[in-house]
Chains A and B, each alone.
Chain A
Amino acid sequence: MAHFLFFLLAIICIASVLGMIISKDQAYNALFLIVAFVCMGGLFGLLEAPFIAAVQIIIYAGAIMILFIFVVMMINLKKGVGQEKKKWTIYFAVVIAAVLVVELVLTVKGALEPASSAALEKLGSPTDLGRLLFTKYLYPFEITSILIIAALVGAIVLVKKRDNE
Chain B
Amino acid sequence: MIPVNYFLILSIILFVLGTIAFFVKRDLITQFMSIEIMFNAANLAFLAFAKSAGSLDGQIIVFFVITVAAAEAVVGLAIILLIFQKKKTIKSEDIKLMKG
Docked complex Cα distance between A163 and B23 (Å): 38
Extra 9 A-B pairs, beta carbons < 8 Å, given A60-B69, A113-B5, A154-B78: A6-B2, A17-B14, A47-B44, A56-B40, A84-B93, A97-B16, A101-B16, A132-B60, A155-B77
Whether the Cβ atoms of A56 and B75 lie closer than 8 Å is no
Cβ contacts under 8 Å, A92 to chain B: 23
Docked complex Cα distance between A147 and B70 (Å): 10
> What is the CB-to-nearest-CB distance from B79 to chain A, in angstroms, rounded to a whole number?
6
Whether the Cβ atoms of B71 and A52 lie closer than 8 Å is no
Q: How large is the interface on B (under 10, 10 to 19, 20 to 34, 35 or more residues)?
A: 35 or more
Whether the Cβ atoms of A144 and B64 lie closer than 8 Å is yes
> What is the CB-to-nearest-CB distance from B73 to chain A, in angstroms, rounded to a whole number?
5
Docked complex Cα distance between A36 and B17 (Å): 12
Cβ contacts under 8 Å, A90 to chain B: 23-24
> Which residues of chain A in 131-165 are interfacial with respect to chain B, using CB atoms and an 8 Å cutoff?
132-133, 137, 140, 144, 147-148, 150-152, 154-155, 158-159
Classify the secondary structure of A's interface with B: helix
Whether the Cβ atoms of B81 and A55 lie closer than 8 Å is no
> What is the CB-to-nearest-CB distance from A58 to chain B, in angstroms, rounded to a whole number?
10
Whether the Cβ atoms of B60 and A33 lie closer than 8 Å is no
A-B contact pairs, 23 of them (CB 8 A): A3-B2, A6-B6, A14-B10, A14-B17, A17-B21, A21-B21, A29-B29, A33-B36, A49-B47, A55-B66, A67-B77, A75-B80, A81-B30, A96-B19, A97-B19, A101-B16, A113-B4, A115-B5, A120-B52, A121-B54, A133-B60, A144-B68, A158-B75
